[in-house]
């Protein structure tokens, strides 16, 4: 491996913003990135959980409270990153909402909630990230979709529509931003133990479900890719599924 490759793979001098960082996948990703020495802006609506994460992860983690469906709050969060570090190398969009409900029983309020949390928030954060990444002509965006964003799932119409939207947005951005050196990846996780129901210490060999750390390790892999290497779509399945 050349010295240039080692430099590209090192994360210690880079900055990241992770949404949905108060719990689940986002929390695991923020913890993993900070553990690699990255400066991490951890964004979520729940300030107390973010403060717990900041105490756990150390001084390189900046907790930011924001409702990502509100344009002005998204802009304010990125302004904090700009003021603190002056750059952004990695955006991970893991915030979102989930709903199981037959289409005939899905209200317009349900629809707006899912589209807002899963698609509008992703658009707003990607737009702000590009404004920070473009001057450096490099950066990585990782948008987390779902298996439901590939195939559709019964009784999850609003959720799947929002996650299909994330895919369309990401693919369009990938083409638009390629000349600026900015990469856009989409992850499609299968079932993830986001709520922490599996005792992994007692069941380390589970093959039917992913852990949040599995997803975090995949994002670390994407963050370490050389600037010339892209992996636009990546499906994550448990080995036994």
Return the residue matching tokens 């992994």. Answer: 200
Contacts of 10 (CB under 8 A, 6+ apart): none
Which one is catalytic: 78, 123, 159, 188?
159
Residue 11 three-state SS: coil
| Distances, alpha carbon 20 to alpha carbons 95, 96, 201, 230, in Å | 4, 7, 25, 24
Q: Which residues contact 78 (CB under 8 A, 6 or more apart)?
A: 17, 88, 125, 128, 129, 131, 132
Please provide the DSSP assignment of 57-110 as one string. Answer: H-TTEEEEE--TTSHHHHHHHHHHHHHHHS---EEEE-------B-GGG--HHH
> Rounded distance, CA 66 to CA 45, Å?
5
| Bridge partners, residue 188, by sequence | 235
Active site residue 188: no
Return the active site residues: 159
């Amino acid at each position: 491996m050349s010295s240039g490759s080692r430099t590209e793979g090192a994360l210690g001098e880079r900055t990241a913003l992770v949404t949905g960082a108060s719990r689940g996948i986002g929390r695991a990703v923020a913890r993993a990135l900070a553990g690699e020495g990255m400066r991490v802006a951890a964004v979520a609506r729940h300030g107390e959980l973010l403060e717990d994460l900041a105490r756990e992860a150390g001084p390189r983690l900046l907790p930011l409270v924001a409702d990502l469906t509100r344009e002005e709050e998204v802009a304010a969060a990125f302004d904090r990153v700009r003021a603190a570090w002056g750059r952004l190398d990695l955006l991970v969009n893991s915030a979102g909402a989930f709903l199981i409900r037959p289409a005939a029983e899905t209200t317009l309020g349900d629809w707006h909630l899912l589209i807002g949390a899963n698609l509008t928030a992703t658009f707003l954060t990607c737009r702000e990230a590009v404004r920070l990444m473009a001057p450096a002509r490099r950066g990585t965006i990782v948008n987390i979709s779902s298996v439901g964003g590939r195939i559709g799932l019964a009784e999850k119409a609003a959720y799947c529509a929002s996650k299909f939207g994330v895919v369309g947005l990401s693919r369009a951005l990938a083409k638009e931003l390629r000349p600026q050196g900015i990469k856009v990846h989409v992850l499609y996780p299968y079932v993830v133990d986001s709520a922490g129901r599996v005792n992994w210490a007692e069941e380390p060999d589970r093959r039917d479900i992913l852990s949040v750390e599995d997803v975090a390790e995949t994002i670390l892999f994407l963050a370490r890719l050389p600037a010339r290497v892209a992996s636009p779509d990546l499906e994550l399945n448990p080995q036994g599924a």
